[in-house]
Amino acid sequence: MSQIERIGVSLETELLCAFDALIAGRGYPSRSEAIRDLIRQEISDEELANPKAEAVAAVFLVYTHHSTKLMAMLTDLQHSHLLQTISSMHIHLDEHNCLEVIVLRGQVGEINKTAENLISLKGVKLGRINLLATDAT
């Protein structure tokens, strides 16, 4: 386990009250926990601006059953040298649509390129990508 340090932060009474209300609403057990999360998020966002940063990503695709190209491309991803496909999950949404969540690991730039290629496939209707910089954890 890593070592813990304690720092002091000065802030206006009104700002502290507003912050306490915000974190109570979200269920935070302490101010320290909430501030650590804000700091980690900011560091992660900063790192993700660098296309060479290492990241883990979840690509989230809604597509029709009939998208055979997506299936072929997902299989290719298993053999990619640039990205590591950690896992994927297939969910039946309704009679027309499926959801595929693919967890990838690699450089930010490569992940974004792969995600764009997946989203552009015929039959893929909506796509989003969530990146987290793994060095920030």
95 binding a second copy? (CB under 8 A) = no
Is residue 115 packed enough to be buried (19+ CB in 10 Å), middle (13-18) or exposed (0-12)?
buried
Pattern 44-63, a second copy, x by CB under 8 A: x-x---------x-x-x-x-
72 binding a second copy? (CB under 8 A) = no
> What whole-number distance in Å separates Cα of residue 98 and Cα of residue 26?
31
CB atoms within 10 A of CB 25: 8
Number of residues in contact with a second copy under rule CB under 8 A: 70
The token pair at 56 is 């883990």
> What whole-number distance in Å separates Cα of residue 60 and Cα of residue 77?
15
107 binding a second copy? (CB under 8 A) = no
38 binding a second copy? (CB under 8 A) = yes
Radius of gyration of the chain (CA): 20
Q: Where does this chain bind a second copy (CB under 8 A)? A: 2-16, 18-19, 22-23, 25-29, 31-44, 46, 56, 58, 60, 62, 86-87, 89, 91, 93, 96-97, 99, 101, 103, 116-117, 119-122, 124-130, 132, 134, 136-137
